Amino acid sequence: MRTQVGIVGAGPAGLLLSHLLHLQGIESVVLERRSRDHAEGRVRAGVLEQGTTDTLVEAGVGERLLREGLPHEGIELRFGGAGHRIAFEKLVPGHVITVYGQQEIVKDLIAARLAAGGDVRFEVDDVALHDVDSGRPYLTFGGERLDCDFIVGCDGFHGVSRPSIPPGVLTTYEREYPFAWLGVLARVRPSADELIYARTERGFALHSMRSPEISRFYLQVSPDEDLAAWPDERVWDELKTRLETVPGFTLTTGEIIDKGVTPMRGFVAEPMQYGRLFLAGDAAHIVPPTGAKGLNLAVADVRVLTRALAHRYETGSADLLDGYSRACLRRVWRAQHFSWWMTTLLHTFDTDDPYARRLQTSHLEYVTSSEAAARTLAENYVGLPYEPGD
């Protein structure tokens, strides 16, 4: 078999790349080791930057997003017994975030690729990358071979693509945080119209949502937290303790339908390319989820790569492909910094250090009282503009 671009991984990055390439007349094959049911059912991030929403709509896969997504014009920072709204409509006019689950984006993209006759293969075994530093790279899987012009690794942090780059080529940067997030999905109406980021002496909590009937919550816990130690009653008690800190707010409880513990890390691999192999999304970088940047960075990556590949096929020039990593990493490191900043602003690091806690409170007070500081948060949260041409 032969295709122009072989894509490893059928998450949002791989599927969107395949769809954007299709719109440019470029063929691709997507290989995914998991089942379609798993890809469409895995609950992940759900906060879309303005640019991500615009990209999906412009690509013709945003109809359901526009109908069912929940646009928000602000978020609330809650600390010290009070809530403080960061008003996007005032600070960054014309920009919102939209709450729409990653699994819903995957469903939309799979449907679009299959409707267009795209080649997306699930439950593929033993994917391996070969000769990526030559002019004839290829993939093998399940006893078959797929020759490609280029290979793109969109298979996540634990995938096979990044390890296919020889040792010594990549420089990796990593930050492990001394806590994790206990994530909870509940069949209950959201208790607020917008996301609430709460900083308390007991740790961070986040009130989010996935739909008018489904709410999403997170609690800061220890990195080795045992999920079995968190029965539903304890989860609700702790959420109420951390979120019911302002007058008049009551947390609505209900049936919990999913729980999980997510480690907090920052990770970047440089460069994001080697020979004819390109990395996109979590295969190249991980951000702590506090800043809601993971999915949005993946979309930014594939926008840059689509333009570069289209330029290569149209003109024969590899100039944009050669600059792919450099172009992406500017945004990646800005998102790393913003995610680190949001994480350190809101989480409890050392309960025995009153000096550090007072500094944290002072910073929060500054962000919520200074329009300039609030605008910095707002413009990063809704997403910085794409570079010209991307």
Tell me the pLDDT tens digit for each residue of 112-150: 999 999 999 999 999 999 999 999 999 999 999 999 999
Instruction: Mark whether 347 is an active-site residue.
Output: no
Identify the band that residue 281 occupies on the pLDDT scale cut at 50, 70 and 90.
Answer: very high
Residues whose CB is less than 8 angstroms from the CB of residue 244 and which lie 6 or more positions away in sequence, other chains included: 250, 251
Instruction: Mark whether 197 is an active-site residue.
Output: yes
Residue 1 pLDDT: 93
Our CA angle for 361, 364, 370, nearest 5°, is 135
CATH number of 5-72+96-173+265-348: 3.50.50.60
Instruction: Mark whether 72 is an active-site residue.
Output: yes
Instruction: Mark whether 289 is an active-site residue.
Output: yes
Name residue 333's amino acid.
W
Our CA angle for 380, 382, 383, nearest 5°, is 60
Q: Which of 372, 381, 385, 369 has its CA nearest to residue 342? A: 381
**Alpha helices, DSSP H only, in 279-353?**
294-315, 319-322, 324-346
Locus of tokens 């800043």: 291
Q: Which of 100, 138, 177, 197 is catalytic?
A: 197
Of residues 5 and 387, which shows the higher confidence score? 5
Rounded Cα distance, 167 and 165, in Å: 7
Q: Which of 100, 293, 324, 347 is catalytic?
A: 293
- Domain positions in the chain are 5-72+96-173+265-348
Residue 366: strand, helix, or coil: helix
Q: Which of 138, 285, 289, 347 is catalytic?
A: 289
Q: Which of 100, 177, 218, 381 is catalytic?
A: 381
217 within 8 A of 186, measured Cβ to Cβ:
yes
Locus of tokens 């679009």: 112
Q: Which of 72, 95, 207, 347 is catalytic?
A: 72
What pTM did the predictor assign? 0.96
Residue 228 pLDDT: 95
Tell me the pLDDT tens digit for each residue of 179-233: 999 999 999 999 999 999 999 999 999 999 998 999 999 999 999 999 999 999 9
Tell me the pLDDT tens digit for each residue of 295-319: 999 999 999 999 999 999 999 999 9
